[in-house]
Amino acid sequence: MIAVALAVAVCALLLAGWALVQVRASEVRLASIIGDDDGGPRQVARDIAAARTELAAARADSGRALKHVAVVRYDAFGDMAGQLSFSAALVDDAGDGLVISSIHGRAESSTYAKSVEAGASSSELTPEEKQAVAAARAGEGNAR
């Protein structure tokens, strides 16, 4: 009877040792997954808060990027064909940016750039430039 009790006790100790090894291995894997520098969930919370802050800053920066673009091609002169003149608008989410126009003639070509704020400019915009700015703000890309 004592031999059976001793055998059960030895098996219980071996099982407890195996369970302890498994728990330690799980702790190591978990620490490597969450990158826990200070040994607790507070670091994870700080990392999440920092990631949210960086994401908010990236979203704010992307709103100021000149990401809305539209091009209007046209014939600036009645005797010219091929729509070689163009006005291109590049604006951000607020409608701030610039419009670039190139007027192509037989003997020469002229290029102009005008700043745009909230979809308007302090310089007079041509109808084609206004069309390009409106198309860029509407996300239309190429306008006619």
Q: What is the pLDDT of residues 21-46, one digit of tens each?
A: 777 777 777 766 666 555 567 777 78
The per-residue pLDDT for 75 is: 87
The per-residue pLDDT for 26 is: 76
Question: For residue 55, what are the CA distances in angstroms to 43, 48, 60?
Answer: 18, 10, 9
Q: Which residue in 131, 102, 105 sits closest to 116, CA to CA? A: 131
The per-residue pLDDT for 101 is: 93
Residue 33's φ and ψ, nearest 5 degrees, are -70, -45
The per-residue pLDDT for 111 is: 92
pLDDT digits (tens, 9 = 90+) for 65-124: 788 889 999 988 877 778 888 999 999 888 898 999 999 888 888 899 999 998 888 889
- The pTM score is 0.59
Give the helix, strand, coil percentages of the chain, each rounded to 5.
45, 25, 30
- 10 Å Cβ neighbour count for 93? 13
User: In which band, very low, low, confident or very high, does the pLDDT at 48 lie, cut at 50, 70 and 90?
Assistant: confident
